[in-house]
Structure 1
Amino acid sequence: MYPAELVKPMREDLTKVGFEELHTAEAVDAALAKEGTTLIVVNSVCGCAAANARPGARMSLQNAKRPDNIVTVFAGVDREAVDQARKHMVPFPPSSPSMALFKDGELVHMLERHHIEGRPAEMIAENLMDAYNEHC
């Protein structure tokens, strides 16, 4: 587990733009039970989360179409919530950071770490916006 003071600014990077933090398996299941679209961002302390994933997720919200619900779990911190989110992301292997778009509880789009690492935030945002335009 990472110290709370270390991850606080990393959490706020998403919560300040409206992402809801999920800390339990029940909260993940409740978020995915909602009608409509839900984006789950698996946040992380790694550099590609800071430079690529979080900025890309934030930028993607500037799109005309966007998910009905935006939530986040934190790898290495919210173990129960992360494990539950990853169960919903099968057949994709666990990775962090990662982002998954669900429609009515069904996985419709996935960005794994290898789609994020080394790619500019703008490219990640564009990928997400294309998914929003198709599914939201």
Structure 2
Amino acid sequence: MKMDFNLFMGDIVDAARKDITEAGYEQLTTPEEVDQALNKKGTTLVMINSTCGCAGGVARPAAANAIHYDKRPNHLVTVFAGQDREATERARDYFEGYPPSSPSFALLKDGKIVTMVERHDIEGFSPVDVVNRLQHIFDENCEEV
């Protein structure tokens, strides 16, 4: 039996997209959508989604659970590395000083990068570890909701 790799990957990508959008993140698929979203006033958390098994399997649950907190970003958005390439490249233009990393999280304030949780901060850690790291960043940079 021959497996259709693109069909298989499509299922994985669809599930990964669904996980994040159901958690409340707005999916950005074009550079124009990225510019509009990342230039909003206030704090914006960007989740750079990825099909990477280990790190992606930690980042997506962390993204979904970290936002259930007293302090959280004003805006939640996501781009999908390796899938929506132009949107991801445009988002990375905002992450000055940080190399490309996926999955990862970027916190911006008024369109400027504040900090990132990069892949090396996710891979090898538990979702709870990443939730705690994100909530610490929210404590330092976000207002109560």
TM-score (norm 2): 0.88
Q: How big is each residue's C-alpha offset from its partner over 1:109-131, in whole Å with a ceiling of 9 and x where there is no partner?
A: 20111011000111111111111
Partners of 2:38 and 2:11 in 1: CA distance: 29
Query: Where does the alignment leave 5 or more consecutive residues of structure 1 unmatched?
Result: none
The structure that has the greater radius of gyration is 2
> Secondary structure at the residue paired with 1:57?
helix
Where do residues 57-136 of structure 1 align in structure 2 (5 Å cutoff)?
Answer: 57-136=63-142
Q: How big is each residue's C-alpha offset from its partner over 1:26-67, in whole Å with a ceiling of 9 and x where there is no partner?
A: 111111111101000110001134421011111111111111
The answer to whether the aligner puts 1:18 opposite 2:28 as a matched pair is no
Partners of 2:138 and 2:44 in 1: CA distance: 10
Contact 2:56 2:103 in 1 (8 A): no
1:55 counterpart residue number: 61
1:5 counterpart residue number: 11
Contact 1:48 1:116 in 2 (8 A): no
Query: Where does the alignment leave 5 or more consecutive residues of structure 2 unmatched?
Result: 1-5
The Cα shift of 1:86 comes to 0.8
Counting matched residue pairs gives 135
User: Over aligned residue pairs, what C-alpha RMSD do you find?
Assistant: 1.2
Dislocated runs of 4+, deviation >2 Å? 2-6, 48-51
1:70 maps to a residue whose letter is: L
The answer to whether the aligner puts 1:27 opposite 2:60 as a matched pair is no
TM-score (norm 1): 0.94
2:24 maps to a residue whose letter is: G
2:72 maps to a residue whose letter is: R
